[in-house]
Amino acid sequence: MVRHLRAEAYAGRMLPFVVEYQGRLVGQLTVAGITWGSMCSGHIGYWVDREVAGRGVIPTAVALAVDHCFRGVGLHRIEVCIRPENAPSRRVVEKLGFREEGLRPRYLHIDGAWRDHAVFALTAEEVPEGLLNRWRRQKPSTSHK
């Protein structure tokens, strides 16, 4: 798997990241399906350890990745596709202000069946100040360990 991620990254089709919190690996975030030309887009997938869920780790990681894609890489659009029943992942994109665009029926083959996914998107013009700045402004102050 690492070899595949590395090859896709070198080819410019993927940006794989690990997510660390307090010095330990707690998740992964991947910008995949990077398309150039007139589209200039990609999609983000992520997971996080349940022990740190709800602490703003993944929303912060997504915001950092989106900013890197828009400002550093030159992408114009980022999508996140989420199974409709995945409430925690839906909260991530809702907190960050991704726009819901609709449903993709039978979009991905997961757990032995084709599963529907809700599509959320954001374009560079929607966050001229950067997604991390927007997230920090609206994020309530917390004092987690």
Contacts from 116-120 at CB under 8 Å and sequence distance 24+? 116/83, 116/84, 117/81, 117/82, 117/83, 117/84, 118/81, 118/82, 118/83, 118/84, 118/90, 119/79, 119/80, 119/81, 120/79, 120/80, 120/81, 120/82, 120/93
Within 10 angstroms of residue 83's Cβ, the number of other Cβ atoms is: 15
Q: What domains, with CATH codes, occur in the chain?
A: 2-138 (3.40.630.30)
pTM of the model as a whole: 0.91
Residue 145 is predicted with a pLDDT of 43
Residue 71, pLDDT above cutoff 80:
yes
For residues 75 and 34, give the distance between their C-alpha atoms in angstroms, rounded to a whole number.
8
pLDDT digits (tens, 9 = 90+) for 43-59: 999 999 999 999 999 99
For residues 11 and 84, give the distance between their C-alpha atoms in angstroms, rounded to a whole number.
32
